[in-house]
Structure 1
């Protein structure tokens, strides 16, 4: 084989390699563009949570142990999926009550739930906290809230995971954090006992929108 023929074959191989690399790059770019367009068109909107009501059975501070809180309440939470083409899977959701950034109840597990397009889900968990240790300033904060407004702000919080479903495709898990403020009033039925607030069972209709982070 002559030098000229050898150079010709080498040039052909280089051209073929460039063609293969160009085709591969174009294919990868096409896939990435398709994924990007699907994400832009079907980009999921985070669910909307609402705290519908809360029934308070006990909210007792420092009985019998100082700087402890006993809480029993039931809440009704609803979630709305606003997406027309995206479903939502809820996994390992836990709900608990918080006051002044301190958790005051055990975390109650919610059942795993699938929420279809523009669908609603409703949960009514009980929240329990029996003689939960709290910081000393909580007592004075409760007394200030009672004297100033006759109510306390209890935050109902939800932590868990969500997955998005588009057709048969299901995404990976994303963390979801929900915070629902609930103003619990003791007006008309309140007293100071053992340094804390005591309330009879009473139901509060709240219809309070919650903040949601995904």
Structure 2
């Protein structure tokens, strides 16, 4: 094959590939504009507290099981969740390690429920956070934020959108009987549940 013919064939292949990519992008854009997918609706349903205490130094040990539900409000658009992780924070500081949630497909109008365990063994926090947690435990009410984050894609038929960043924040007041030891620090190692139906803030 002559050099000119090879160059011409290569140009045609590149042109065909570029045309395909443009058509695929236009298809996704049209589907998006026509169907206008709404972001999922997340609800925090339950929190079981096994442990939430100050440990050695300015460290927090936390052990929860949370139940989070997601509803896809779209009728003809499915959702793919990818690389989701869950965790808990107190006063803006993470108090558990990230917990990976399984990749999940969610059909239109479907509700999916996750119930992960969130555990943080002696997570270092700022000194003021430790002081605040001690005071809140003595009072018997602690404001914790359950977080879910990861990737999300919308799917219409065989067309899948590009990946978006999903961020979910579920603030919850954990109410439990405050019990004090000799130094006045609340000890909350007893298991208790907080049955909830709380809407979460969702950003996509």
Deviation at 1:140, TM superposition (A): 2.0
Between 1:50-59 and 1:134-143, the stretch displaced more is 134-143
How far apart, in 2, do the equivalents of 1:185 and 1:107 lie? 24
Deviation at 1:35, TM superposition (A): 6.4
Aligned pairs (5 A) from 1:36-75: 38-62=31-55, 65-75=56-66
Find 1:170's aligned residue among 160, 168, 186.
160
**1:108 aligns to what?**
99
How far apart, in 1, do the equivalents of 2:187 and 2:71 lie? 34
How far apart, in 1, do the equivalents of 2:48 and 2:194 lie? 6
Between 1:48-57 and 1:193-202, the stretch displaced more is 193-202
How far apart, in 1, do the equivalents of 2:129 and 2:184 lie? 11
Classify 1:36/1:74 alpha carbon distance in 2 versus 1 (closer, same or farther; 3 Å): closer
Q: 5+ unaligned residues in a row in structure 2: which ranges?
A: 1-21
Root-mean-square deviation over aligned CA pairs: 2.0
Deviation at 1:141, TM superposition (A): 1.1
Find 1:134's aligned residue among 125, 129, 140.
125
Q: Which structure has the larger Rg over C-alpha atoms?
A: 1
Count of matched residue positions in the alignment of Structure 1 and Structure 2? 180
**2:186 aligns to what?**
197
Deviation at 1:197, TM superposition (A): 3.1
Find 1:183's aligned residue among 173, 176, 193.
173
Deviation at 1:38, TM superposition (A): 3.4
Q: TM-score, normalised by structure 2?
A: 0.81
SS at the partner of 1:85? coil
> CA contact under 8 A between 2:28 and 2:159: conserved in structure 1?
no
Deviation at 1:195, TM superposition (A): 6.5
How far apart, in 1, do the equivalents of 2:163 and 2:195 lie? 33
Deviation at 1:198, TM superposition (A): 1.9
SS at the partner of 2:129? helix
